[in-house]
Amino acid sequence: MRDFVFPGGTAVVTGAASGIGEALAHALARRGADLVLLDRDAERLDAVVAAIRAAHPDRRIDTHLVDLADADATDRVAAEIRRAHPRIRLLVNNAGVALGGRFDQVTLDEFLWVVDINFRAVVRLTHTLLPALKAEPGAHLVNVSSLFGLIAPAGQAAYSASKFAVRGFTEALRHELVDDGVGVTSVHPGGIRTRIAQSARVGSGVSREEYEAGRRQFEKLLSIDPAKAAEVILRGVERRRGRVLIGWSAKLPDLLARLAPASYHRVLVAGANRSAGGPGARSTSRPEPAPAPTPAADPVPAPRPAVGPLTPEATGGQQA
């Protein structure tokens, strides 16, 4: 498959009001793409559009306000985009939300809220817009999973379930769309500085004190700029890479999970406790609660059972 060509094509990006989605919108505009941007935050999305238009007045930019937790609204927006853009060169399903707490600390509604936005909305948008991708020669699909789509730490049952689902869905589509000439990339960011941690929900059974302690600890690990993450993603798209891992905070845990798929958590917890306590520190039998979910930064987040809404990468955009 030939390298992806950005200029002159239409790119659809969800979660475009902040974080990785905002950075992707700017980077795509610099590369000559027209944009269709989705988010639920009107004020932030307007600011992103104003900044892009000031820098690139010749770019066509369409926006859609939508809460991806609303299946009917998601379907309506997807149909509107399909009618207005019968040919789409790039679709980036980036929007995501986070929820902190063990499975027995969250309600079923809270759990399914994460699944609805992080996975079902990806499926809905892709299903409706796939014919437009197939109609455009050299098109490409990007689904942003997570480091927690490669490993599944305690306290992240909902988030990891949704992101593992995105990973499996994306891998299947990669194989199915080869003959159609549509490239497919699964993205797994490590720790990226975005707003997802601040806006993540806390499970009903999680104490605010536990959550705040974990969130503060986790935020120290977030070091990757969303703009850097966007560049890594788009380089992967250009080269038609099937999978993109962002930061050593994603690459090292991925390797560990391959080497020790049933026991990697103990190693990550031990390493995190050792880092927290200094050179001679020993691992404790009950690791500290992990922090809240946040956008892409560069931590090694698999440390401990998260109590707060904790995710290694904050994709931005769709937030509660």
CB 200 within 8 A of CB 318: no
pLDDT bin (cut points 50, 70, 90) of residue 312 is low
Q: What is the pLDDT of residue 183?
A: 98
CB 292 within 8 A of CB 310: yes
pLDDT in tens, 106-165: 999 999 999 999 999 999 999 999 999 999 999 999 999 999 999 998 889 999 999 999
pLDDT bin (cut points 50, 70, 90) of residue 265 is confident
Burial-class residue 46 by CB neighbours within 10 Å (0-12, 13-18, 19+): middle
Q: What is the mean pLDDT of residues 180-203?
A: 78
CB 241 within 8 A of CB 142: no
pLDDT bin (cut points 50, 70, 90) of residue 202 is confident
CB 45 within 8 A of CB 89: no
**Residue 228 in this model has a pLDDT that exceeds 70:** yes
Domains and CATH numbers, the chain: 10-261 (3.40.50.720)
Q: Which pTM value belongs to this model?
A: 0.85
Q: What is the mean pLDDT of residues 89-112?
A: 95
Give percent of the chain above pLDDT 70.
77
| Cα–Cα distance, 283 to 183 (Å, whole number) | 44
Query: Residue 134: CB partners within 8 Å, gap ≥ 6?
Result: 177, 180, 182
pLDDT bin (cut points 50, 70, 90) of residue 289 is very low
For 118-172, the DSSP string reads IIIHHHHHHHHHHHHHHTSTT-EEEEE--GGGT---TT-HHHHHHHHHHHHHHHH
Catalytic positions, please?
Answer: 159
- What b/e sequence results for 293-306 when a residue is b if at least 16 CB atoms lie within 10 Å of its CB, and e otherwise? bbbbbbbbbbbbbb
What values do phi and psi take at 62, rounded to 5? -110, 145
The C-alpha angle with vertex 18 and arms to 139 and 14, in degrees rounded to 5, equals: 35
Residues facing residue 65 across a β-bridge: 39
Q: What is the pLDDT of residue 198?
A: 57
pLDDT bin (cut points 50, 70, 90) of residue 204 is confident
Q: What is the mean pLDDT of residues 255-281?
A: 70
pLDDT bin (cut points 50, 70, 90) of residue 254 is confident
Category of 309 on φ-ψ map: left (φ > 0), alpha (ψ -120 to 50) or beta = beta
**Which of 202 and 220 is assigned the larger pLDDT?**
202
Residues facing residue 221 across a β-bridge: none
Q: What is the dihedral of CA 265, 266, 268, 269, to 10 degrees?
A: 110
Q: What is the pLDDT of residue 122?
A: 98
Report residue 292 as tokens.
């809240």
| Cα–Cα distance, 285 to 295 (Å, whole number) | 29
**Residue 313 in this model has a pLDDT that exceeds 70:** no
Q: What is the pLDDT of residue 284?
A: 36
Give percent of the chain above pLDDT 90.
63
**Residue 310 in this model has a pLDDT that exceeds 70:** no
Instruction: Output DSSP code: residue 192.
Output: B
Q: What is the mean pLDDT of residues 187-199?
A: 69
Q: What is the mean pLDDT of residues 5-20?
A: 97
Compute the mean pLDDT over every residue in the chain, rounded to the nearest whole number: 84
